[in-house]
């Protein structure tokens, strides 16, 4: 570590300690001081050929946006003029070196993280709890101080290099191994829950299949009963026809017998 670097670190430590002591009266300026420090300790591929340093800000906070724009005036980052652009989730994100996501837009972080994958863009978030998607995350402590945490694995995966000395300004490094183990534990827990759900679904499917078989059997039985009823109805109609014919024959025979008796035994007056 050079004397100049030590001097800068001491100055920054004093600066951030004074910030904490003053309860962080101007949050936006503190965030910009942090960003300025992050950029100094981060190296981008081919950064020497860039003619400007482009920062995107995902925020609807007018005061915050104004502070970012004021910061860009008459200042440089990496000895280059600073460009500030306000973006939204639909913006093209390939022309920036750094993207800042305010806490009011933190729900969009996984989506933004996916869009910038492999594009050598440093992502700085504010009060984002899921450390799996964090590169550098600013967060409020219990005593209302603003500190930061770094996920080096995510930064390196974006072809960026960050000097560990940046942590001396009041930051902490996220324990990736612990995060991995936690993710594995959550994955196993989720798998166990899914297995229970799958077993329950299989049981319900089996019960539904059994019920469906019973329903189909009942439908078949109903169809058979309908066929029997139809057959009996047809037989009944035939019997009615036969009965009607027999009644007609019976009436005819009765009439014929009456005539015969009348002819053989005429009535004498």
- Element (H or E) spanning 124, and its range? strand 122-126
Same structural domain, 24 and 142? yes
Tell me: do 151 and 266 sit in the same domain.
Answer: no
DSSP state letters, 134-191: -SEEEEE-TTS-EEEEE-HHHHHHTT-EE-GGGGGGTEEE--HHHHHHHHHHHHHHHH
Domain check: are 188 and 139 in the same one? no
What does the pLDDT look like over 168-223, one tens digit per residue?
877 888 876 655 555 554 555 566 677 678 778 888 888 888 888 888 888 888 88
- The encoded tokens of residue 226 equal 């309908």
Q: Is the domain of 203 the same as that of 119?
A: no
Angle between helix 62-72 and 27-40 (nearest 10) = 40
Phi, psi of 150 (to 5 degrees): -125, 135
By C-alpha distance, which of 136, 137, 120 is closest to 128? Answer: 137
pLDDT the model gives residue 208: 84
pTM: 0.61
Identify whether the C-beta of residue 135 lies closer than 8 Å to the C-beta of residue 124: yes
For the chain, how many structural domains are there in total? 2
What's the token pair of residue 125?
């978030």
Question: Phi and psi for 70 in degrees, rounded to 5?
Answer: -65, -35
Q: In this structure, how many other beta carbons lie within 10 angstroms of the beta carbon of residue 28?
A: 18
CA distance 117 to 158: 7
216 with 163, same domain? no
Tens digits of residue pLDDT in 27-61: 999 999 999 999 999 999 989 899 999 999 999 99
Report the candidate in 154, 116, 156 with the shortest Cα–Cα distance to residue 133: 154
Residue that finishes a domain, picked among 174, 202, 233: 174
In this prediction, residue 24 carries a pLDDT of 42
Domain that holds residue 211: 176-269
- Residue 7 has a pLDDT of 58
14 and 81 co-located in one domain: yes
Tokens coding 203? 């049981």
Report which listed range, 22-36, 97-111, 157-171, 232-246, is most confident: 97-111
Indicate if 86 and 212 belong to the same structural domain: no
Same domain membership, residue 98 and residue 22: yes
Q: What pLDDT, on the 0 to 100 scale, is given for residue 76?
A: 94
69 and 45 in a single domain? The answer is yes
Same domain, 21 and 107: yes
Evaluate whether 99 touches 58 at the Cβ level (below 8 Å). yes
Beta bridge partners of 126: 138
Distance CA 116, CA 94 (A): 7
- In 3-state terms, what secondary structure has residue 91? coil
Indicate the residue among 144, 174, 204 that finishes a domain: 174
- Alpha-carbon distance of 30 to 61, in angstroms, equals 15
Q: What's the confidence (pLDDT) of residue 1? A: 60
**122 and 253 belong to one structural domain:** no
DSSP bridge partners of 84: 55
Q: Read off the CATH number of the domain in which 70 is found.
A: 3.40.50.2300
Domain termination residue (choose one: 174, 202, 228): 174
Q: 3-state class of 266 per DSSP?
A: coil
Tokens 């939204």 found at: 88
Q: Indicate if 118 and 216 belong to the same structural domain.
A: no
In terms of average pLDDT, the best of 116-130, 181-195, 219-233 is 116-130
């Amino acid at each position: 570590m050079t004397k100049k670097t030590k001097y800068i670190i001491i100055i920054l430590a004093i600066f951030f300690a004074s910030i904490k002591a003053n309860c962080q009266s101007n949050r936006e300026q503190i965030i910009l001081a942090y960003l300025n420090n992050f950029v100094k300790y981060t190296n981008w591929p081919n950064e020497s050929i860039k003619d400007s340093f482009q920062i995107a800000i995902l925020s609807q906070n007018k005061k915050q946006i104004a502070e970012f724009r004021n910061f860009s005036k008459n200042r440089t980052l990496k000895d280059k003029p600073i460009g500030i652009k306000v973006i939204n989730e639909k913006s093209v994100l390939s022309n920036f070196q750094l993207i800042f996501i305010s806490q009011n837009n933190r729900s969009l972080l996984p989506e933004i993280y996916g869009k910038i994958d492999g594009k050598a863009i440093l992502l700085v978030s504010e009060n984002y709890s899921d450390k799996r998607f964090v590169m550098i995350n600013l967060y409020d402590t219990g005593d209302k101080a603003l500190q930061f945490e770094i996920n080096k694995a995510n930064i390196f995966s974006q072809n960026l290099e960050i000097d560990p000395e940046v942590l001396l300004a009041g930051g902490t490094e996220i324990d990736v191994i612990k995060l991995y183990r936690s993710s594995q534990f959550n994955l196993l827990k989720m798998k166990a829950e899914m297995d229970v759900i799958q077993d329950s679904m299989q049981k319900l499917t089996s019960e539904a299949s059994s019920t469906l078989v019973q329903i189909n059997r009942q439908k078949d039985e109903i169809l058979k009963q309908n066929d029997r009823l139809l057959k009996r109805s047809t037989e009944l109609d035939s019997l009615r026809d036969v009965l009607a014919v027999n009644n007609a024959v019976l009436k005819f025979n009765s009439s014929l017998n009456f005539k015969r008796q009348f002819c053989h035994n005429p009535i004498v007056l």
